[in-house]
A = this chain, B = another copy of it.
């Protein structure tokens, strides 16, 4: 039996990114400088921190405009909590992510500035994928990641917020298990698992914003493969569409409104009887 395996490494030597920088050129140059062992091959998956994509795309805003920047990227507020340090506001962003402060990032940016998520991370991923495939002549995939908190767990993990040239899931919903019984509900989101794996070498303090995953070439697909936006599930059927406090308040207000209507209609019917 062959041993399934893959390797992950960080791409060193990528300089600080500024607005207008050509990421294909800068990432490509850094990879080229790493030598033959780390030269890209067919089936490699590049995992890119969204922060450098945002920087290249000019998504930096003055920190004083923080609230406006969050509002700009917010589709709706999901949950809010006031605590001694301020307000934690979990929102659904334009990009479909549910994140604190709409993903606005205050770390690893110059003092006095904040960084918004890329406008369309899938589009950014497609551009990187096309450009790097072209430069190196290899069939690779791109994942753009961000760091996201989760309900019911401490801390954060990295998720795929953009992707190109990648099969995002191992959809086993039609497959059978080892006993031949159908696997009804299992759809492993390999894009998110790859994002998390890459974070283990990228880190937040190391200045390594790109990682390469080698050995998962079976997941590399055409440039027209669906992007990470398709991993989002935020419709009305979302069981956690609102925070508990927010949903509680909606229920409370609905009951009050109903009572008020009931009282009015009750009083009206009394008035009608008196007529």
A109 at the interface (CB under 8 A from B): yes
The residues of B that contact A216 with a CB separation of less than 8 Å are 200
**One of A66-74, A119-127, A132-140, A251-259 at the interface:** A251-259
- Given A150-B150, A153-B233, residue A188 in contact with residue B199 (CB < 8 A): yes
Chain A, interface residues (CB within 8 Å), range: 35 or more
Q: Could you say which residues of chain B place their CB within 8 Å of the CB of A1?
A: 12-13
Give bound CA distance, A245 to B236, whole Å: 11
Q: Which of B79, B192, B254 contacts A239 (CB 8 A)?
A: B79
B residues near A97, Cβ cutoff 8 Å: 152
B239 touches A244 (CB 8 A): yes
Query: How far does the Cβ of A168 sit from chain B's closest Cβ, in whole Å?
Result: 9
Residue in B closest to A207 when the chains form the complex, CB atoms: B178
Check B204 against A177 for contact (C-beta < 8 Å).
yes
Residue of B nearest to A219 (CB): B200
A178 to B12, CA, bound (A): 14
Task: Determine how many copies of this chain the complex contains.
Answer: 2
Whether A194 contacts B200 in the complex (CB less than 8 A), given A10-B4, A183-B107, A240-B244, comes out as yes
Q: How far is the CA of A158 from the CA of B216 in the complex (A)?
A: 17
Contact A189 B231 (CB under 8 A): no
Complex Cα spacing A169 to B155, Å = 8
A269 at the interface (CB under 8 A from B): no
Q: How far is the CA of A233 from the CA of B200 in the complex (A)?
A: 22
Given pairs A108-B179, A155-B189, A192-B196, 13 additional interface contacts (CB within 8 A): A3-B9, A3-B10, A3-B12, A79-B239, A88-B239, A107-B184, A151-B151, A154-B231, A157-B196, A175-B205, A178-B207, A245-B247, A256-B259
| Residues of B close to A32: CB separation below 8 A | none
Question: Which residues of A94-121 have CB atoms within 8 Å of chain B's CB atoms?
Answer: 97-98, 100, 106-111
